[in-house]
Amino acid sequence: MISSPWIWPGFLVFVALILAFDLFVVHRRAAVMSTRNALLTLAGYFTLAMTFAVGVFAFEGPGRGAEFLTGYLVEQALSLDNIFVIALIFAHFGVPPEAQHRVLFYGIAGAIAMRLSLIVPGVHLVDNFKAIGYALGLLLLWSGFKMLRHNASSIDPGKSWIVRKLHKSGRCTQSFRGNRFFVKEYGTLWMTPLFVVLVTVEATDLVFAVDSIPAVLAISDNAFIVFSSNVFAILGLRVLFFVLAGMMRDFEYLQTGLSLVLMFIGAKMLLAGFFEIPSVLALAVTALIIGGSVVASLVAGAERPRRQDG
């Protein structure tokens, strides 16, 4: 299946159709996405991803199928940390709730294009230059260690270099103009604060891609498996934001779990020349770490009120 010459253009057209349907049919008007609508949309994207996974298992075997699911799970888990940062960005700039979906939509489209430009050459480089694989393994170990000490709540989006540059340009309106990125006023084209937010979100995704792309490259040596697993996870990020944005602070052990996943995958990449960890085992370990961190967070959250009452 994945060796067919039509698989890449067919998949890209499929993704483009999904995005077009979302923007021009489902959300053609600016409106706040309800939790119920977000959950239904998220269920739809999850069903698409699992249907695709079944196809990979059926046509490419359990090895490739496990690689796809592991890549999907890792990217989805790392996206949870990204959601918290995006929530901070929205809060800092005071983005109206009805305009948030538009920013996330174009942010997702940009993230897909970014990963397409990085994953294909990345797989080629790792296949042909083994030293790059070891370098990426070390990068993942360092990223995992750094994540253990990193506090996302300390991020100040307004102090980023790109935000300061855009504001200093003098071509940004003082207030939002609905869900528009640009407006023409007094014969001049102006950017709105919503465009500044979009650029900030894209820059943030580039930073997160430094962790997520090497992680998935360590899981599979097939560019299509890596790209498709990333895309399916990213497609659900937009609606996942509306479900979890207000709950991210409750998952206190999630960041620890993500850091352990990055270090495990980094170790897997470093050991690849000596010992190959089976894809199914890598999937099981990844799911156990992420699932364990979520369960531990929920248990800790449930115990906290009891301790306070006592």
Q: Is residue 119 part of a domain?
A: yes
Question: What is the C-alpha separation between 42 and 223, in angstroms, rounded?
Answer: 25
Name, in order, each residue with C-beta under 8 angstroms of 199's C-beta and a sequence gap of 6 or more.
162, 163, 166
Q: Is residue 164 part of a domain?
A: no
pLDDT of residue 153: 54
State the residue range of the domain holding 64. Answer: 7-98+112-151+211-309
Instruction: List, in sequence order, every residue forming a beta bridge with 182; answer none if it has no partner.
Output: 191
pTM as predicted: 0.77
Instruction: List, in sequence order, every residue forming a beta bridge with 189; answer none if it has no partner.
Output: 184
Which DSSP string corresponds to 23-74? IIIITSS--PPPHHHHHHHHHHHHHHHHHHHHHHHHHH-HHHHHHHHHHHHH
CA angle 146, 148, 150 (to 5 degrees): 65
Question: What is the C-alpha separation between 19 and 36, in angstroms, rounded?
Answer: 20
Name, in order, each residue with C-beta under 8 angstroms of 206's C-beta and a sequence gap of 6 or more.
114
Of 148, 167, 157, 275, nearest in space to 207 by CA: 157
pLDDT of residue 303: 67
Please tell me what DSSP assigns to residue 248: G
Structure tokens at 67: 């690689």
Question: What is the C-alpha separation between 274 and 125, in angstroms, rounded?
Answer: 20
Q: Is residue 177 part of a domain?
A: no
pLDDT of residue 250: 65
pLDDT of residue 252: 73
Q: Is residue 220 part of a domain?
A: yes
pLDDT of residue 229: 92
Structure tokens at 209: 């891609």
pLDDT of residue 208: 75
List of E strands, 135-288: 182-185, 188-191
Q: Is residue 185 part of a domain?
A: no
Per-residue pLDDT of the chain (310 residues; tens, 9 = 90+): 666 778 899 999 999 998 888 777 766 665 667 777 778 888 888 999 999 999 999 999 999 999 999 999 888 887 776 777 787 788 888 888 888 888 888 888 888 888 888 887 887 777 676 677 778 778 778 877 877 776 555 556 666 777 777 777 778 888 888 888 898 887 888 898 899 889 888 887 877 777 777 887 888 888 899 899 989 988 888 777 777 765 656 677 777 887 888 888 888 878 876 777 787 888 888 889 888 888 888 787 766 655 555 5
pLDDT of residue 56: 93
Q: Is residue 266 part of a domain?
A: yes
If one counts the domains in the chain, the total is: 1
Q: Is residue 249 part of a domain?
A: yes
Give yes or no for a contact between 81 and 258, defined as CB atoms under 8 angstroms apart. Answer: yes
* Unique residue bearing structure tokens 């069903």: 47
pLDDT of residue 260: 85
Q: Is residue 144 part of a domain?
A: yes
